[in-house]
Structure 1
C-alpha cells in the first residue's frame, strides 16, 4: 500500500473527515486489513448452528468464513477454502455438512475444526512432500473465536484484547437483549432480510445515531402514517413506528448519546419504555418476565430503552425489537446489510410477532422507511465523488462532549459525537495504535 500513516492521520480532524475515507479503493483495502483483519467481528449466533455439522457462512471484511458446530459442541470459524485448489468448500447460506467437510471439487475431506481428514487415491501423494498433518493441507481456522451470551465473534489477529474488553460497555445492550427473555436466551428466527446499499460501509454506522436526519429523510413515511392514522382515528403499532421519526427537533435534542472506546455506542430509545404494563403485548411480556425475575428486575430490564446500538465493525443490535443489523462491506461503494431477527425464548409469541412487524415495516427492502436511508446513503457516495468540496463536516456540538469512564456522552441528542467517536477508533485502527491492531503492516 502506498498510503502512509502520516497521510491517513491527516484525513481525520476533530470535527470532520476527508471525503476520500468513503471513496478511495486503496483506503478500503487497508480497512479490510487493519480493521476487519484485526478487530473482533460478529460472525453469527450459536442458534444458527444448533447441531453438530450445522454451518453458517458469512464474511469478515473481504474474507469468506464458515461458522460450524463440532461434535463436541464447540463452535469453530474457518476460512471457506479448500487448501487443494482453493475452492469454496460450502455454498453461501446455512446448511448441514454432516460429520465432516467435503470439497465438491476433488473430495478432499476435513474435520469440523478444519483439520485435514482424507484425500482420494492417497497413493498418488506418496513419495512427495505432502504431509497430511501439516497446517498447509487443512482448512485454516481463524486465530481467535469467542462467544458472548450466544453471540459468536472472531478475530483474524493472533493477538489483541479479549472480546469483552473490546466490546466494552456495549455488552450491556447484548445483555439486555438476552435478559428480555424469561430464560435469558435468544435465537435467530423468522428469516433474514438482505439489503444491498450503494455506499461505503461507514455511512450506515454514522447514520444509526444521526438524530438530525429522521424528520427530514423520512418525511414522506411520517406524513403517510399520520394521514392514515387520521383516517382510522387511531394510531396502531404499524403506524406508530413509522410516525416516530417525525418528532420535532426538541424531542431529538433530549435523547442520550453514549460513545465507548473502539467506536461503539448507543442511542436512547424513541418509544415509551413505560408501556410495559399497558398495551396487551407488552403487558403479557412483562408478566412472563415478572414470573422469572420479579417485578423490580423486570421493570429494570424493560426500562433500558435503547434504539440503536453500534458494535463498530459488526453492526447494530436493537434490543427493544430483537434484531441485529449485520453490516458487511463488499467494496468501497457497496455494503450488504443483513437483518437478523431474534426470538426471546420463553416469551409470549406475540412479542416475536411484534418484532417481525417492526422488521417488515421499518427495515425490509420493501418498507416505507429503509429505502429513504438507502437513497441518501447513495447520494452521499455520489456527491463525495464530485469536485464540490473535500471535507465532511462533523461540527455539531464538537468540543462539548463529556468524558466519562470508557468513553463520552453528548450534551445534546443532536450532537455528532457518535461520528467523531467512530473516526477516533478508525484512526487508531488504521495507524495500528490499538491492541487489536498491533503487529500489522
Structure 2
C-alpha cells in the first residue's frame, strides 16, 4: 500500500478535513516523519538542567531524546539510545547522570555531549571495525538545537528556517512571558502535571482556540463556580477563572484570533489580572517591573493579554499565568499533555503562587475544567471511528478572515481560522517530502471510506 501526495492533499479542503487525519495510524506515522521529523519542537527549558550532568528525558514525536547540561555548560539534545544494543540510557523524566552517561546494560560510557568515552574489556574489539571515534559508536545529537530565552527547541532536520523565523509572530508570547520577570528570566518550578488524553494530538491544538466550545463543554464547571460564589457572597479569582468560560457568545465574538505560518497563532485573553493593577498581587508585581523597566513598559508588559498561544507541534504557552502545556503525541489515539509552570525570577512570590493556583484549577488532572475537555476529546476520537460521516467541518467564517502583516486575523472571535491555519500547515508539512510515494504497510482504504473527493492510490 502506498500513500501518494495527491491522496494526502485530498484529505484537507479549505473548509473541512477528512476524519482519517485523526484516526489513521499510517498518517500518524507519516506525521512523525514529516512534521515531527522536520519542525522545531520544544524539548524543555534550560532551567530543568541547571547543573553539570542534569538531564531531562522526553520525546520529540516518536523519538526518545534527552536534554543534558554538559561540562562546557552548554545544553545538548541527544537521542536516548546506547549505540551498542540500543538500550535507552536514562529513564523518562529528570535526573543527574554525573560526569558521563553509563549504559545500564553493558556499561558503555559516553561524554555528556554524546561522544564515546569507553567500553569494558576493550581487548575484545581488537582486530574488528570498532572505532571509538566513529559516530556510529556515540550517542547521536539531534541535527539542530537552539535556545530562545531559555526555551530549548530541537529539529531532526539538518535544514530549514532558523528558530526565530520559524516562531514568527508568536515569539512575542515567549518574550512577554520572560519580560514579566524584572530580570527577564523564568524557570520551571512547582512540579509538572501530566495527563494522558485518549485522542489524537491535533484535537487539543484545535480546541485551544475553539471559543465556541467554552460555554457548552464547560457548563458544569462554570455553573458550579457561580453557585459557590453566590454562597460566599463574592467571586474570588479561583472561581472567576472557571466562570470566564460561561460568558455569552457575544463576548467570544469580540475576541481576536491571530494565525501565522507553520500553524502558529494566539488568542486574545479572556481576562488579565495584571491589566488593571487592581489587586495587591498585581500592584506588587507592577512595582518591581516599574523599577526594572520604567512605568510605560511595565504597563505594556502586564497589559499584553493573551489566553493561549499555539506553537504548532510543541504546545501552548499561557503568558498571563506563566504556563506551558506541552503536547506530545504518543499514538494515533493517545496524547500526553505535560503542564509546566514557570516562576518569574525576581517577581513577588505571590505571583508564582497565583500561577500554581491557576495550574491546579485549570490544568490539574483533577481539575473540573480539564475533565470537561478530556471527555469531549475522547468522544471526538470515538465518533470519528464510526461510519457516521467522512468529513469534519471548519466552515465558521471560512473565507472571511483578514490578511494582516505576518499572518491573518479573525473577523469574528468564533471563527475557525486557527483550525484552518493548522491544517494548512499540516498539509504543507505532509507534502514537503521530495519522495512522491511513501510505502506504508496498512490495509487498503476504499474510495467510499475516503469520500467522493479522495481515492486510494
TM-score where L is the length of structure 1: 0.98
In the alignment, the residues of structure 1 paired with residue 92 and residue 73 of structure 2 have an alpha-carbon distance, to the nearest angstrom, of: 22
In the alignment, the residues of structure 2 paired with residue 274 and residue 48 of structure 1 have an alpha-carbon distance, to the nearest angstrom, of: 27
Number of positions where the alignment pairs a residue of Structure 1 with one of Structure 2 = 438
Q: Corresponding residue for 1:292?
A: 292
Question: 3-state DSSP class of the match of 2:415?
Answer: coil
1:406-437, Cα deviation, whole Å (9 max, x unpaired): 2100000000000000000000000017xxx9
- Residue 127 (structure 2) pairs with residue 127 (structure 1): yes
In the alignment, the residues of structure 1 paired with residue 288 and residue 2 of structure 2 have an alpha-carbon distance, to the nearest angstrom, of: 58
1:349-398, Cα deviation, whole Å (9 max, x unpaired): 00000000000011111011001000000000000001110000000000
- Asked if the contact 1:276/1:286 (under 8 Å) is kept, the reply is no
- Residue 63 (structure 2) pairs with residue 63 (structure 1): yes
- Residue 150 (structure 2) pairs with residue 150 (structure 1): yes
In the alignment, the residues of structure 2 paired with residue 431 and residue 51 of structure 1 have an alpha-carbon distance, to the nearest angstrom, of: 41
In the alignment, the residues of structure 2 paired with residue 431 and residue 397 of structure 1 have an alpha-carbon distance, to the nearest angstrom, of: 26
In the alignment, the residues of structure 2 paired with residue 132 and residue 413 of structure 1 have an alpha-carbon distance, to the nearest angstrom, of: 58
1:87-145, Cα deviation, whole Å (9 max, x unpaired): 00011110010111100011000011101010001000011111111100001110000
- Asked if the contact 2:269/2:305 (under 8 Å) is kept, the reply is yes
Q: Corresponding residue for 2:112?
A: 112
TM-score where L is the length of structure 2: 0.94
In the alignment, the residues of structure 2 paired with residue 181 and residue 66 of structure 1 have an alpha-carbon distance, to the nearest angstrom, of: 28
Deviation of 1:283 after TM superposition, in Å, equals 1.0
In the alignment, the residues of structure 1 paired with residue 100 and residue 61 of structure 2 have an alpha-carbon distance, to the nearest angstrom, of: 26
- Asked if the contact 1:11/1:17 (under 8 Å) is kept, the reply is yes
In the alignment, the residues of structure 2 paired with residue 354 and residue 439 of structure 1 have an alpha-carbon distance, to the nearest angstrom, of: 51
- Asked if the contact 1:276/1:283 (under 8 Å) is kept, the reply is no
Superposition pairs of residues 394-405 of structure 1, within 5 angstroms: 394-405=394-405
- Asked if the contact 2:69/2:112 (under 8 Å) is kept, the reply is yes
Q: Corresponding residue for 2:88?
A: 88
Moved over 3 A (4+): 272-276, 437-441
1:3-33, Cα deviation, whole Å (9 max, x unpaired): 1100000000000100000000000000000
In the alignment, the residues of structure 2 paired with residue 126 and residue 190 of structure 1 have an alpha-carbon distance, to the nearest angstrom, of: 51
Q: Corresponding residue for 1:429?
A: 429
In the alignment, the residues of structure 2 paired with residue 348 and residue 272 of structure 1 have an alpha-carbon distance, to the nearest angstrom, of: 17
Q: Corresponding residue for 1:159?
A: 159
Question: 3-state DSSP class of the match of 2:17?
Answer: strand
In the alignment, the residues of structure 2 paired with residue 117 and residue 438 of structure 1 have an alpha-carbon distance, to the nearest angstrom, of: 38
Question: Mind listing any 5+ residue stretches in structure 1 that lack a counterpart?
Answer: none
1:136-156, Cα deviation, whole Å (9 max, x unpaired): 000111000000000000000
Question: 3-state DSSP class of the match of 2:2?
Answer: coil
- Residue 315 (structure 2) pairs with residue 315 (structure 1): yes
Deviation of 1:288 after TM superposition, in Å, equals 1.1
How large is the Cα RMSD of the aligned pairs? Answer: 1.3
- Asked if the contact 1:273/1:304 (under 8 Å) is kept, the reply is no
In the alignment, the residues of structure 1 paired with residue 40 and residue 66 of structure 2 have an alpha-carbon distance, to the nearest angstrom, of: 16
In the alignment, the residues of structure 1 paired with residue 29 and residue 45 of structure 2 have an alpha-carbon distance, to the nearest angstrom, of: 27
Deviation of 1:272 after TM superposition, in Å, equals 4.0
Question: Mind listing any 5+ residue stretches in structure 2 that lack a counterpart?
Answer: 439-457
Q: Corresponding residue for 2:216?
A: 216
In the alignment, the residues of structure 1 paired with residue 37 and residue 272 of structure 2 have an alpha-carbon distance, to the nearest angstrom, of: 39
- Residue 21 (structure 2) pairs with residue 28 (structure 1): no
Q: Corresponding residue for 1:331?
A: 331
- Asked if the contact 2:333/2:381 (under 8 Å) is kept, the reply is yes
Deviation of 1:52 after TM superposition, in Å, equals 1.2
Q: Corresponding residue for 2:233?
A: 233
Q: Corresponding residue for 2:446?
A: none
